[in-house]
Amino acid sequence: MASMPNIDTLHFSEEPNVDTVPGPKSRSLLDQQVEIDSAAVAYPKRIPIALEEAKGATIRDVDGNTFLDFFAGIGVLNVGHSNPYVLEGTREQLGKITHTIDFPTEARLDLIEKLREIAPGGLAGSSNVVFGGPSGSDAIEGSIKLAKHNTGRHGLLAFEGAYHGATSGALSLTAGKKYKKGYTPLLSDVVHAPYPTVPTEQERDQALKAVRQKFEDPYGGTEDPAGIWVEPIQGEGGVVVPPEGFLKGLRKIADDNDALLIVDEIQTGLGRTGEWFGSDHFDVTPDAITMAKSLGGSGLPIGAMVYHEKFDTWDAGGHIGTFRGNTPAMVGGLRAIEYIEAHDLLAHATDVGEYLRGRFREVSEVTDRIVDVRGRGLFIGVEFVDESGEPDANVVKEIQTECFENGVLVWSAGRYGNVLRIIPPLVLTKKQAEVGSDIVCEGIQSVLKTR
Ligand SMILES: Cc1ncc(COP(=O)(O)O)c(C=O)c1O
């Protein structure tokens, strides 16, 4: 087995090194992309850069500019880009066998064992794992089938502010209207209840009441849902942490109504929030969790669902997909988990996340344009409003550009696009956190000065 290099050794550097961006080579590739790639391409519109290579929490463009990566492929590179311990296993496996459908391999069974071990609450040790298509959306599709198959019902309940993916079933659960426009109707009998956006008991109780009514009110309007789909902390919705007791309340409603509680851990999973799963913060046992994003370790795509063994009622072929046996991604996923364990990265994410939130809170104390700094671990949101207290997406875009020009890549979130989303790799060093947050805080201050 390879050695596991310390997190300090994983990166190009502790600090960014950026000339004028976009540089000439980036410009040329960006122009070519506009000519021949899809009109659906989105990220380079906000961050005009062509990528060359990446290590740890640093990423380099084709002109040799080095950035601190504070969005990690939107929560994919939890153990950093090109983690040598992960890559070694992945490469070795690539040379042996890659595509195995669902025949047993050591890679598959070792990853399943590990996921069963770290699964939240009572899922640990009492669960099965299913792989399907390689994306998060595919894992969500699997969870919809699981809930329908086990309840015989077809209605689904999700939340306002939710993002669960872009395939038809997952898109039905997603709340963002912009993603659905032109593609509805999708699945029928899907309802969205309010997600508690303020951490108060009153907000929590109102939200739970609305969910309960969807099941128990004889004039609730739709068939009883087969399941409740919830992000333990909403990502795309703005890194929204629900009040204590919300997930437990959902657990009780699901139990009272013979529905499944499905917690979408696609963005919050595998250490992102300082626990293995977002569910762990709320002491809840879901019936199933979905995961993808960081599960492949190095960015290779793989989606999975861990579900309680009592729901393992499918016949052979009950949930399938050609790419459900991507062994290099399976080895990578196992090695990423081992790396997180060996380097105590859950505690590290908690510490560094707290430090970063502290830095952003300091800035928020001297402006009324930041109304909230929130999150858990290295899943952080900073919410902005304009002078009249309305959500301000433009200020977030400008801050993003300012950070980019000074060497830090940050992304946005929020129903109105007014939340700065900071989700760096868990291997971000303390020094990188200091340097990066200096740049982000200066970016915020310099943009707000112009307001
Ligand atoms: C919480 C959550 N669920 C589902 C998805 C969909 O995953 P994918 O884009 O891999 O289909 C995402 C993607 O951002 C997500 O954040």
pLDDT, tens only, 70-84:
999 999 999 999 999
Is residue 370 within a helix (H) or strand (E), and if so which, with residue range? strand 370-376
pLDDT value, residue 134: 97
Q: Which residue has the higher pLDDT, 215 or 2?
A: 215
User: Can you tell me the mean pLDDT for 360-367?
Assistant: 98
Domains of the chain: residue spans and CATH? 85-342 (3.40.640.10)
Q: Which atom of ligand 1 is nearest to the CA of 165?
A: 6
Q: What is the mean pLDDT of the chain?
A: 97
pLDDT value, residue 2: 60
Q: Indicate the DSSP class of residue 391.
A: B
pLDDT, tens only, 277-325:
999 999 999 999 999 999 999 999 999 999 999 999 999 999 999 999 9
pLDDT, tens only, 398-407:
999 999 999 9
What's the rounded Cα separation, in Å, for the pair 151 and 227? 9
Share above pLDDT 90 across residues of the chain, in percent, rounded to a whole number: 99
With a CB cutoff of 8 Å and minimum separation 6, the contacts of 424 are 57, 68, 69, 70, 71, 72, 378, 432, 433, 436
pLDDT, tens only, 326-345:
999 999 999 999 999 999 99
What's the rounded Cα separation, in Å, for the pair 196 and 173? 17
Q: Which atom of ligand 1 is nearest to the CA of 140?
A: 4
pLDDT band at 246 (very low <50, low <70, confident <90, very high): very high
pLDDT value, residue 451: 85
pLDDT band at 129 (very low <50, low <70, confident <90, very high): very high
pLDDT of 3 strictly over 90: no
Give the residues across from 413 on adjacent strands: 419
Give residue 87 CA to ligand 1 midpoint distance, Å.
24
Between the alpha carbon of residue 366 and those of residues 353, 361, 381, 402, the distances in Å are: 21, 9, 18, 20
**Residue whose CB lies within 8 A of the most ligand 1 atoms, among 267, 295, 419, 423, for a mutation test:** 267
Give residue 180 CA to ligand 1 midpoint distance, Å.
15
274 Ramachandran zone, left/alpha/beta (phi>0; psi -120 to 50): left
pLDDT, tens only, 15-46:
999 999 999 999 999 999 999 999 999 999 99
**Is residue 377 a contact partner of residue 273, using CB atoms and an 8 Å limit?**
yes
What's the rounded Cα separation, in Å, for the pair 295 and 292? 5
DSSP symbols for 265-286: -TTTTTTTTSSSSGGGGGT---
pLDDT of 356 strictly over 80: yes
pLDDT of 1 strictly over 90: no
Is residue 59 within a helix (H) or strand (E), and if so which, with residue range? strand 58-61
Q: Is 214 helix (H, G, I), strand (E, B) or coil?
A: helix
**Residue whose CB lies within 8 A of the most ligand 1 atoms, among 272, 293, 300, for a mutation test:** 293
User: Can you tell me the mean pLDDT for 228-246?
Assistant: 98
pLDDT of 4 strictly over 70: yes
Give residue 73 CA to ligand 1 midpoint distance, Å.
12
pLDDT value, residue 82: 98
